[in-house]
Amino acid sequence: MASGDTAELSSLRSQLDELTTRVETVADRYRDTPDSAIATNLYAAERALVGARRHVDRALADLADQDR
């Protein structure tokens, strides 16, 4: 069961990486514009995604520890 969960979490981690990059790309377009509040909100979303990725990484590490 853990191997299936590891695969699922690895896939989710990849998706979080992609989403983080996409959000950052859009935020960068608004950074130095009159709509910089959009960038501010998107950078906050980016930080949340990075935090989510860290938690997924920890869960993956915990699963790896179980397999030992």
Is the full-model pTM beyond 0.95? no
Please tell me whether residue 1 adopts helix, strand or coil conformation: coil
What is residue 20's DSSP assignment? H
Enumerate the domain spans of the chain.
Answer: 2-66
Residue 13 pLDDT > 70:
yes
Q: Report the largest interatomic distance among the alpha carbons of the chain, rounded to a whole angstrom.
A: 54
Residue 1 pLDDT > 70:
no
4-10, Cβ contacts within 8 angstroms, sequence gap of 24 or more: 5/63, 6/60, 6/63, 6/64, 9/56, 9/59, 9/60, 9/63, 10/60
Whose tokens are 């990486």? That residue is 17
Q: Which two tokens stand for residue 14?
A: 């990849």
pLDDT in tens, 15-61: 999 999 999 999 999 999 999 999 999 999 999 999 999 999 999 99
